[in-house]
Structure 1
């Protein structure tokens, strides 16, 4: 499957939505506001950093072969 910006953004948003939705639905003693204000932004930032590192590593691998 060829990844372009649209497919990557949709998959990224789906992964974040499933993770945050699971936390909201889980019977844990954490308010929904806390999840949306603290967990969601940190998850998005971590995901963006991992995505950027993965893209750079993929570019490196593509050049070295």
Structure 2
């Protein structure tokens, strides 16, 4: 599977939605508003940082000759 921007954005969104949905459905003592206002934005921020690092590492691997 080749990843382009729409596929990457869709998969990224799906992962965040599944994670937030699992937290909302889990029997934990955390309000839904807390999950949506604090956990979801941090999941998105962390995911974007990891995605950026992964893209940079992939570019490095693709351009370096061993």
**Which bin holds the TM-score, normalised by the shorter protein?**
over 0.9
Question: How far apart are residue 59 of structure 1 and its match?
Answer: 0.1
Task: Look up the SS of the partner of 1:14 in the other structure.
Answer: helix
Q: What is the rounded CA distance, in whole Å, between the counterparts of 1:40 and 1:15 in structure 2?
A: 11
Q: Which runs of 5+ in 1 are unaligned?
A: none
Superposed CA RMSD in Å reads: 0.5
Pairs aligned (count): 65
TM-score (norm: length of structure 2): 0.97
TM score, norm. by length of structure 1: 0.98
Name the CA distance, whole Å, in 2 between partners of 1:62 and 1:25.
41
